[in-house]
Structure 1
Amino acid sequence: MFISGHDRLAYGELPDGNQVAEIDIPKPVKSKNLGDLPVAKFRQGFQDVAKGFFKDLDEIPRVALQYYDTPATGPKIHLAWGQHMQPDPPAASHAWFNPDLKKPGTTGTWFIGAQSLYSVNGYMLEIPIEWADKNTGGRSLGTGRYKDGGWSGMGPALFAYRPWEDTGAPAPPGTRLSEKVLLLYQNSQNSDKIEHCLKGYQHPDEWEGAAWIETKTGKSAVLFAGTKSTGAKYWYGYIHPQGPAYPCVDQAFVGQFPVCRSADGKPCPVADLRECAGHQSYRGWWSTRFDAQFILYDPTDLARVAQGRLASWEPQPYAVLDIDESLFLNPDNLEPEMLGTADQRRYRIGEITVDRGNGLLYILELFADQARPVVHVWKVRQ
């Protein structure tokens, strides 16, 4: 399994972050005791495979990896890269490198068509080649991102792309790769209305990972994993010192956009549009409640989008699974000002990946063992 380490930090504080390593996969152990869990060992140590690439994209980076072996190119690790606030003019977001991390031969960078950079560089997945040949013109890599506030679209986004020529040669640097839209909801920068969005959408939602899962009996689904805002109210601002039931908006933004809404998308009453005293949390999108969730889409719906038979905002999940009961949920209560606590705990899970051959789904839980993550494993049933 290939992993990415500590993020780059801006202003020269950590210019060589987001290095990549390879680890082994120990046999999973089911236990709520962290001391019982096996520890993965390194197969290849951390290497700065993106050195010289994605310069100045170090302000809260968004990075995704996808191993993919195709006859055209041989084994490559595909890389998506962005940051919290994308630069203007835009910077290309995708590349690839070799699995030999000491000789990465990093190649790129490319754009995903003319898509917003807020929609393309948060997670990646492999699309089954038979499905891709039928529906996306052979584009067998998926990429997307969700940015809080709906700047990427009000729900997870997904695009199919292919960064190599028919000969297997990489596309020239700077190419705007031809993409196929599979899922893209209304962008909040284009409309203040909560419409053409994920059912139950809220601005503090987090979708951090995606995987195309299949069973040996031929069933399949596209799964997104994240920390879903499920509260009665959500707002841009801070945690209220009096408890999660009370919004605490950033007063400076009142009147610029709807800074507080109820779960049904309607604006909060005027009484909620004030900044509370004594707040200490990080500023951002908060909710009265969050839950770690899987949401599953039918690939048939995404095929209809690719074929132009459905609008990109029409597909909805056919199933929602709450996975909080399987998580450790920051037992050491680290970084409460950034992460929140109890029902308001954000950033519960990170990236995911799938081992189709063995039917295993791997999910990264953040801050599970102090600042260290824990990898959870689910069996994909037949």
Structure 2
Amino acid sequence: MVASGIEYVTRRGSQTSDKLYGAIDQWYGVVEQTHPTIWFSEMDGSNPRGPYHVGPRLLPYHGNKAGDYLFSVPQWYADQHLGGRFLVTGKTRGAFNGAQGPTLFAFSPWNSETPAGNLDAIPLLWYRIFFPECAGPNVGNKSQCDYPDFTMCDKWEGGGFVESGQKRAIILLGKKGLGSNFYGDSPAADSCDDSRGYHCDPYERQVIFYDVDELGQVAQGTRNPWSVRPYTIWRPRQFLLGNAQGQTCGETGGVVVDTVGKRVFMIEKGFGGHQNENAAIVHVWSVP
């Protein structure tokens, strides 16, 4: 269980102070039952409340589809497409009621200091699980997946809503497996992971772009959530780790979009520390 995304939310309803919202990534959720993934606290971390379940405890809502990243969308977009819901969370977990590809669920933060129940949420994006057809161990066929070239090693770690004039997108940052869905002991001495499990070498870091109008159609019930695909993929060459093809074992971290300063922050991991993840570099791009 890992604490992942955080987001600042101004006081709402009867609340007396601004809040800090956070997400919980329970990666190894290997049971069908769901779990809560969102908490909130005072700005200094005191008086934590939750965790809360995103949406009702019925499919397609599930803890294996939420909690890996957390960000906000502009209020105008939330009002136009999402019924006012402006916080978004998601996750990639290709089994146990997760999704074979990244997910996006929009929800409203609480209006009181001591709320109870589930968060009010709607789906924007999730991909169906076809197992073993899509990504079964050693037998999966990527052409059978909703998400293009999905592997069980794909991990999307951060997201945000980016605007430049009339151009808008929701972006997700992560590490993408380029190989097959091999399952077993490490297949080669230079494999990124030496443990038993899925190995999808080689890997590269990607930023995928989603059309916000298409996601809005899903939210309004006029389009299936698995029909939306990234319209472009960016492979940042500014990341420090990687060979000539941009392939690396390095992980990624979160994304922050500074709407006032028009900047995008992305975390590149892989520079040492526990499991080679604690030491990281923050890259900053300007949004024209």
Q: Percent identity?
A: 25
Q: Counterpart in 2 of 1:212? A: 161
1:360-375 equivalent positions in 2, closer than 5 A:
360-368=263-271, 371-375=278-282
Deviation (angstroms), 1:134:
1.6
Alpha-carbon distance in 2 for matches of 1:140, 1:118: 21
SS at 2:47 equivalent: coil
**Residue identity opposite 2:238 in structure 1:** S
Is 1:288–1:343's contact at 8 Å kept on the other side of the alignment?
no
Q: Is 1:328 the equivalent of 2:240?
A: yes
Q: Find the residue that maps to 2:214 and give its secondary structure.
A: helix
CA distance in 2, matches of 1:236, 1:62: 27
| Residue of structure 2 equivalent to 1:68 | 9
The residue type paired with residue 64 of structure 1 is: G
**After superposition, what is the alpha-carbon deviation per residue over 1:179-234, rounded to whole angstroms, capped at 9, x for unaligned?**
11000111246x6345452222222111111111112x232110000011122x23
Residue 135 of structure 2 is aligned to residue 223 of structure 1: no
In the alignment, the residues of structure 2 paired with residue 80 and residue 238 of structure 1 have an alpha-carbon distance, to the nearest angstrom, of 31
Distance 1:362 1:83, change over 3 A: same
Distance in 1, matches of 2:216 and 2:149, equals 23
Secondary structure of 2:22's match? strand
CA apart distance, 1:326: 1.6
Distance 1:373 1:223, change over 3 A: same
Deviations 1:267-321, CA, capped at 9 Å, x for gaps: xxxxxxxxxxxx9812232123111010000100000101111101011111101
Runs of 4+ deviating beyond 6 Å: none
| Alignment partner of 2:47 out of 105, 109, 129 | 105
2:119 aligns with 177
Distance between the aligned counterparts of 1:68 and 1:185, measured in 2?
29
Q: Which amino acid in the other structure matches residue 178 of structure 1?
A: D
Amino acid across the alignment from 1:162: S
Q: 1:357 aligns with which of 260, 266, 287?
A: 260
Change (3 A) 1:128 1:70: farther
- Kindly provide the amino acid, as one letter, of the partner of residue 228 in structure 1: K
Query: 5+ residue gaps in structure 1?
Result: 1-57, 245-278, 332-341
Over alpha carbons, which structure has the higher Rg? 1
Residue in 1 aligned with 2:188?
A: 241
SS at match of 2:148: coil
In 2, Cα distance between equivalents of 1:360 and 1:237: 42
Q: Aligned AA for 2:270?
A: F
- What root-mean-square deviation, in Å, do the aligned CA atoms of Structure 1 and Structure 2 show? 2.8
User: Would the alpha carbon gap of residues 87 and 122 (structure 1) be closer, same or farther in structure 2, given more than 3 Å must change?
Assistant: same
1:315 matched to 2:228? The reply is: yes
Distance 2:115 2:50 in 1: 7
CA distance in 2 between partners of 1:146 and 1:132 (Å): 23
Deviations 1:251-274 (A, max 9, x none): xxxxxxxxxxxxxxxxxxxxxxxx
Secondary structure, aligned partner of 2:157: strand
Distance in 2 (CA, whole Å) between partners of 1:66 and 1:200 is 31
Cα 1:380–1:150 shift into 2, 3 Å? farther
Q: 2: CA distance between counterparts of 1:172 and 1:300?
A: 32
Matched, 1:162 2:103: no
Counterparts of 1:329 and 1:348, CA distance in 2:
10
1:227 & 1:280 partners in 2: Cα distance? 13
1:179-328 equivalences under 5 Å are 179-188=121-130, 192-193=133-134, 195=144, 197-215=146-164, 217-231=165-179, 233-241=180-188, 281-323=194-236, 325-328=237-240
C-alpha distance in 2 between matches for 1:330 and 1:297: 25
SS in 1 for 2:227: coil
Q: In structure 1, what is the Cα distance between the partners aligned to 2:96 and 2:186?
A: 20
Instruction: Name the structure 1 match of 2:21.
Output: 78
Contact 2:94 2:129 (8 Å CA) reproduced: no
Alpha-carbon offset, residue 71 of structure 1 = 5.0
How many positions carry a matched residue from both structures?
268
Deviations 1:48-82 (A, max 9, x none): xxxxxxxxxx4xx2532112235545532111114
The change in CA–CA distance for 1:87 and 1:204 in structure 2 (over 3 A counts) is closer
Amino acid at match of 1:210: G
Aligned to 1:125: 71
Which residue of structure 1 lines up, in the alignment, with residue 285 of structure 2? 378
- Distance of 1:379 and 1:361 partners within structure 2: 6
